[in-house]
Amino acid sequence: MSNSLKEKIRTIPNWPKQGIMFRDITTLLQDSEGFKHLLDLLYERYKNFSIGKVAGIEARGFIIGAALADRLGVGFVPVRKKGKLPAETIREEYEKEYGPDIIEIHKDAICSGEKILLIDDLIATGGTALAACKLIKKTGANIIECGFVVDLPELGGSKKIEDAGFKTFHLVEFEGE
């Protein structure tokens, strides 16, 4: 199942900097059969989780998360970079490789006690995903799971999220490739 998805993910060596093997899911998204298969797999995983909303991390998490939310018949919450949402927000500051960053959601997007599925395309070091988990927890909601298309296990992101008490799931793994 995951091999057919993995074959549709392009690797771009040395981008955005030397030594990085960038895993580009846009080739998977533009393949109608591949994208449908991706959504079928995620729907089958999450259809019985009683999810209240899907939250997607900017930007590729929007594409996958919104489509999955539609299939699940639930709402979608965009997790955005600072200053991109028009109404009142709550925020979480976190450290990235090059300094601090901030993500936000609308203050009224998630209700206390709501069951949330967090979705993004890829988990690498886990900084943004963990910040999104902390941001969602500020609302009083429960994160059911953090779902990713791709995991890069040697960068430790999944472990970091799991060590913080959140469950993770991925469909494809690129390890040392």
Q: Which residues are catalytic?
A: 60, 97
Six-digit token string for 84 = 């991109």
The residue to which tokens 């995620």 are assigned:
42
Q: How far, CA to CA in Å, does 6 sit from each of 36, 102, 131?
A: 14, 31, 27
Closest by CA position to 144, among listed 170, 113, 167: 167
Q: What is the CA radius of gyration of the chain?
A: 16
The residue to which tokens 């690498």 are assigned:
124
Q: How far, CA to CA in Å, does 139 sit from each of 99, 100, 115, 150?
A: 26, 22, 11, 27
Count CA within 13 A, CB hemisphere, residue 50: 4
Q: Whole-angstrom Cα distance, residue 79 to residue 87?
A: 13
